Amino acid sequence: MNATDANTSGRDVLAVVSQSGPTVTFFDATTHQRLGVLEVPAEPHELCYDPDRRLLYCLSTYVSGYYHAHQGRARQITVIDPDTRTIVDTLDTTPDHAPHGFALDRARARLYVSVEATDTAPGGVIVYDARTRERLARIPVMADGPHWFAITPDGRRGYSTNKEAPFVSVVDLELDAFAGRIEVPGSEGLDVSPDGRHVYVAAPKGDFGVRPAAPPGVRVIDVAKGEVVRTLPTEGVVFPVHTTVTGAVLAGELRMVREPGGELGAQTDGVLTVFAPGTLEVVGQVEVGRFPLTITSSPDGGTGYVANVMSGTVTVVDLERLSVTATLEVDRAGEAGAHGLAYIPAARS
């Protein structure tokens, strides 16, 4: 581990994955000072913070490479103490592999992890007891490549986006069972509204050509109806979607150029599009780095954080003024840089 001596527990912290680091970097959320860097297993993707136990989960998806272009699937979830910036445990997902997405139900102390299909089972969601870290169940989602996973505030329903599969999977988290499909033209990131009435899904699947496979945007799913009721159109393909505590919807749009690119396409600076709470009208846009892949926000909803995997940066955005206040850099050893994000409030005395 490479870290400063700065104490983390007395301040709000932003944790940032570097996919090719492979590391988690900790920044002071107010001053943006880099506090420390923790090395983790190869190809870390997403983060999930458990405030009740003050633990940070970091999943590793592949040995190296990307979805459909990798050199083997990983099976590790690293458990981190964010205050000491040390690894305290490692979960082995075997017989499952390629974990992608997280969700935490604090009321029931359940940690959900989406995983790709194996030779004997469709893609699914592993359920862990967040208190003991014991594996409790596996819920099939009937798709090969589930990625992002989100749950309703009451913990009763979960939703999985499945890349090229033409549907979002719905799971019953009271019965731990598959509950149905909602048609979409492929899908990427998603999030649930604070009141639990809507799910916001980035669609279609983000292929790296100049022209999307279907009109890009954010599909709005009515939870009660179980269907798409509206599309929030965007100019570019959307990967990350995030809802703030105020109900604002944040979408990260890719911008492509017509020239040869790497495994992740020919990317130029992307755009954060902000939709207003309630009306979902566009409030404004802010330019961010290349290939926005993950978004989170501060607990008060005033600040947004956009991880740009191709730039290796995090764009810090004032969501009231719609202006960039800082750009954070993470170290990387290859093409892929900043990925997963977690906001960690200061420990209460």
Q: Share the mean pLDDT of the chain.
A: 94
**pLDDT for residue 4:** 46
Enumerate residue ranges in the chain where pLDDT < 50: 1-5
**pLDDT for residue 74:** 92
Token pair recorded at residue 212? 């999307």
Tell me the domains of the chain and their CATH numbers: 2-344 (2.130.10.10)
Concatenated DSSP letters for 163-215? BTSSEEEEEETTTTEEEEEEE-SSB--EEE-TTSSEEEEEES---SSSS-SS-
Rg (C-alpha) for the chain, rounded Å, is 18
**pLDDT for residue 213:** 74
Element (H, E) at 52: none
**pLDDT for residue 260:** 61
**pLDDT for residue 88:** 98
Is the model's pTM score more than 0.75?
yes
**pLDDT for residue 3:** 47
**pLDDT for residue 265:** 65
Residue type, 106: R
Nearest to 294 by CA among 251, 339, 256: 339
Per-residue pLDDT tens over the stretch 294-312: 999 999 999 999 999 999 9
Counting Cβ atoms within 10 Å, is residue 293 exposed (0-12), middle (13-18) or buried (19+)? Answer: buried
Per-residue pLDDT tens over the stretch 260-269: 655 556 889 9
Q: List Cβ neighbours of 12 (8 Å cut-off, separation of 6 or more).
A: 28, 29, 30, 298, 343, 344, 345, 346
**Residue-wise burial string across 120-145, b where 16 or more C-beta atoms lie within 10 A, e elsewhere:** eeebbbbbbebeebebeebbbbbbeb
